[in-house]
Each structure stands twice: as C-alpha cells, then as structure tokens.
Structure 1
Amino acid sequence: MATKQNKGGFGETLRTVIYAVLIALVIRTFAFEPFSIPSGSMIPTLLVGDYLFVSKYAYGYSRFSLPLGLPLFNGRIMADQPERGDVAVFKLPADNSTDYIKRVIGLPGDRIQVVDGILQINGEAVKREKVRETRVGQAAVTIYRETLPNGRTHLIRERGDENYFDNTPVYEVPKGHYFMMGDNRDSSQDSRALQRVGYVPFENLVGRAEVVFFSHDGSASIWEVWNWPTAIRYGRLLHGID
C-alpha cells in the first residue's frame, strides 16, 4: 500500500514533468525552435548535420508558429517584415507542412532573375566577388561573396554559370510573398522552381535562423559513443548565421 509520502512524491514529480513540458512548449511556440539541416542546399552557410535555433518572434506569429500548424487564426499577429538576406525557415506552400530553409532574396513587388549565374534584382546585377575555388568529390566549385542591395553579404557556392537555374525568366514577386533561394545555387530547389516551391506567403514563414548550437559531420553513428568527439564540428558550435 502506497504511503501518503510516496503519493505526494509521485504527484510532485508528475507536476514537475507537466510544468517542464508546458514551459518547453511555450518556448518552442513563442521564442526559439530547434531545427536540423538534412540537405546541402544552404552550403556554405549551413552544413548537413548543423542544428540551429530559429527565432519564432522575429516575424510575428502565424498558424505555423503553433504546434501542428493548428488553424486557429489567419495571417500574422505582431507581424514584422523579413529583411532581404535573412535566412528563414518556412512551410512549403505546396503542402503547408514540410519545413524548408532558404535565404530571403526577393521582397513583395521585386523582379528577380538569374542571368548567366548572376542574380539580378529589379534589373540590377547583384555584386558577386570570387572568394576561392575548391572541389567537392570530382567536381570543381567556386565560392563567391554576394552583396545584396541593402548591403547584406553572404557566401554562395556555384558549380558553374550554365546550369539549370543559371538563366531564368523574370519572377515578379506578388504582394505578401517572398522569393527564397538557397546559397548552394546549383543544388537548391527554391522559389526558382515555381511548381515545387514558388513564391512563399508571409504567413508560411516560421522564423529566422539565428545560431548553430551543435554540428556533426555524420561520421559517428548514435551508438558509436567513442567516435562522437571526433565527429563534432567544434568550430561551428554557437556559430551565428549571416
């Protein structure tokens, strides 16, 4: 038979667990949510195996700020517009459930085009400076520093200037929508693919990527505890996202 002390101890533990879950849920909904990077579309800014925090309050709150995307309201509350160059998580417009992460390149009303690999915004070529050349397997790639019209700079990776999305039509960004592109320009499915991604509604933005809090190179399986120390990318821990 359980004593009152045992019952009290169990009840106190249960309350503590419930409080902890509620606090974590509130933080995840209104402050920061963790995300992991499963693909290389944002290389060199983000690497496969990066874990990052996304600020949920950066753009205000929409239904997609809530757990499971519950449709409790439409639009955004406490809305704040993204800035060109932000790295943002959004729900894929095609299904409103899949998480994507790309860079905000086009704002509502902008005209976006890529000509011979060079990004064009409203008819003006974006400055692109070569940083270095490197290799990925057998392929040669070039790292450039791109400077957007508002002065924000970031690195991009190109295999060349004659790939599928290196010459595009002009995209006219609709009101209330954003044009998103990956930094790994020749290996990113983004707003250039109108049928798959296309223009992203403001409501679909989940938050702004802020910091990489953990990163590993995938060389150690979860059970290979002895290999964990060599798999961690220590230089990326607490690395701010530009």
Structure 2
Amino acid sequence: MKIALFATCVNDTLFPGTGKAVVRILERLGHEVVFPEAQTCCGQMHLNTGYPEQALPLVRSFTDTFEEYDAIVAPSGSCAAMVRDWHGKTAARQGDHRLAERAFALTPRVHELAELLVDVLGVTDVGAVFPHRVTYHPTCHGLRMLKLGDKPLQLLREVRGIDLVDLPDATECCGFGGTFALKNADVSAAMCADKTAAVKQTRAEVLCAVDNSCLMHIGGTLSRQRSGVRVMHLAEILASDR
C-alpha cells in the first residue's frame, strides 16, 4: 500500500525522529511511504484559539495536498482528530460547502498510527524489540475523540522484551491541552504533577504515548523532578529493533 505521511507541525519542527520512525515501521511491513512536501499545519491551533477564518486556508491546503492518497497516517492523536472531526465542519461553517464536501470525503482516509496498523493493515506485531519497562499514557484526543481504545496497547504487547506495566489513573488528562497550559498554568502544572506521580509509581523506565505534545509536557516535569523516566512516542518504540 502507498501511504502518505502527515508529519504534523510539532513532530516536523521538534520531534523529526517520530516521522522517521513511522517510515521505518511501514517500510519494514512492506509498504511505500511518501511525504507530500506541500503539507503545512492542520489548523488545530487556530481553531482552538477562536480563529476559524484563519483555519480555513489550512483545511483547504490539507485537502489539496492529501486528496489523491488512499491512506494518510498522522503520528499525532490530536492532529488526526482535528482533521477527522473538524475539517469538514470548519469549511461548512465558513460557508465553503464545496471544500466541506471534499474534506468530509477525505477525512475517513486519515488515520493515527495505531489505527492504521491495527484497523487498516491488520497488524499488531510489527517486529519491534524494546527490552525496557514501559507504561502507556492514553492522550485525551486519542482516547476521547479518536476512541483508540487499547489499540496502542495491542501493539506494545507484541513488542519483544518489553515489560509493559499499567499506569494508575491512566485516563486522567496530563494538563497540556495546547493553549490551556498557557492560559491556566497553575491548573495545568497541578494536573501534570498528578500524572508524573502516577508514572513514577510504575517504576517504568519509559513513558509512551501517541502525542508528542503531551509527552513534551509530561517529560518536562519528569525531567525537572530528576525522575530518570524517559518519554517516547509509540512510533519510536515500535520502530526499535534491538
């Protein structure tokens, strides 16, 4: 299968290794991965901050860029949710009904990585090896909007050598929430303190999630606490072969 990679702004700018990991996984499974260079932001930041007019050109750009592909993978639950849940609605609410029609037709082909592997490709064992103690945090967009359920855990359970442990109060938000962390810094910090306390209870070496934005938030607190816990995107663990 020919699959288009939507790297997302955060990954492309701050965590390029995540996109590279996605490519390694899919090529290991025998698929061709392409990176459309015209891709830009999905518009989530604009829409969430109250600027739907500014988000509309980004909806159009995404649709123009990815419309030709049968499958698009985004290693970000929040960006995949933005495209799937809001692109068509945003275009419709801004009065561009032709773009809305195109976006609604495209968005079912957009998948978060775990969805693509488990639901579309029918794979849970991707040939990964990762001999470390790991706990998994289900991020809010993946859990509540994409409804990933245990798909990431299905993939992690098949990783050779892994010691996968449950995270207490796993479904509690980490407190990032994009601009929420800026506008409500004290509340955000308190929520993250609860999350890091739960992580440390597991005695895990690595905290895994499907969103680098959340991992950046939790990882910053873990680092300041000198916890010794690393954070890694699901793709990086699944791409590991030793």
Shorter-chain TM-score: what band? under 0.3
Greater Rg by CA: 1
TM-score norm. by structure 2 comes to 0.24
Which one has more relative contact order, counting CA pairs under 8 Å at least 6 apart? 1
